Amino acid sequence: MPRIENKALRTYIYDRIRELIDQGILPVGQKINKNDLVQRFGVSQTPINDALNQLVGEKYIEMRPRKGYYVREFDIEEFCQLFEMRAGLEGIAVRLCCENATDSQVLELVTAFDSFSVPMDEAELHRYYETDRRFHEKIVLYSANNFILESLKTTGFQARTYQKGLVRGPEITLHEHRMVVEALKVRDGERAQHQMVWHLLGSRDVFKTMIDKEKGKSHKH
C-alpha cells in the first residue's frame, strides 16, 4: 500500500512542478531551488528529486553538473519542430472535434474569441494569450482521442511553444482563430483541419525565417 501512495505522490509533485514551468512561475533559464519546492509542497526531497529527474528525461529541465537543475530553453529549431508537431496533432484534433464534441463543447470553442478586437491594450493582450492557450488545449480535450490527449500530457507539446509568449500578435492570429471557428460552427472537419494546420504553420514559419537568417549569416562568414 505505501508503494501506491508514494507513486501517487510522485505523480502529484511531477504535475505541480510542470505546471509551475508551463505557467512561467519557474521561468526559462532559472535555477530550480529544491528547498523552495520542499517548502511549497510540504514533502521530502525524494519525490522532488524523482519528479525533477523525470522532467530531465522529458527535456523540460536540464541538469548541469555541479550546478543543479535549470528550466530548459528550447532553441529555434526545436520551436520549429514543436509547431510542426502541433500542426499535425491539433489539425487532426480539431477535425475530430467536429465529429465528437458535444454541442455545448462546440459552442464553448466557437465563442472563445467573440469579445476580442484589435488593437489590444496590455490587459486585453494577456487575456487573449490565456484564451489562446485554453482554446488549443480544449480542442485536444474535446477531440475525445486518448492517444492525442496522452501525447499532450507526456510531451507538453503545446505548453512548450508558449515559452516565448505569443509568437505572432492578435492582429494576425485573431482572424486565423476565427477561420477555425467558422469551420467548427458547421462541423466541417476537413476545413477546420486545413485552417488549424495553416494557423500553426504560420507560427512555425516565424522560427523558420530565423533559422534561414542564421544560416545566411554563417555563410557570409
The pTM assigned to this predicted structure is 0.78
Annotate 52-84 with three-state secondary structure: HHHHHHCCCEEEECCCEEEECCCCHHHHHHHHH
At 157-210, the pLDDT tens digits run 787 787 777 889 999 999 999 999 999 999 999 999 999 999 999 999 999 999
Confidence of residue 22 (pLDDT cuts 50, 70, 90): confident
Average pLDDT on 73-79 reads 86
Cβ atoms of 64 and 27 closer than 8 Å: no
For residues 104-132, give the mean pLDDT.
Answer: 96
Stronger pLDDT, 165 or 143, i.e. the higher one: 143
Cβ neighbours around 48 below 10 Å, total:
23
Check residue 144 and give its pLDDT. Answer: 97
Tell me what pLDDT residue 23 has: 74
* DSSP string of 89-119, one letter each residue: HHHHHHHHHHHH--HHHHHHHHTTTTT--SS
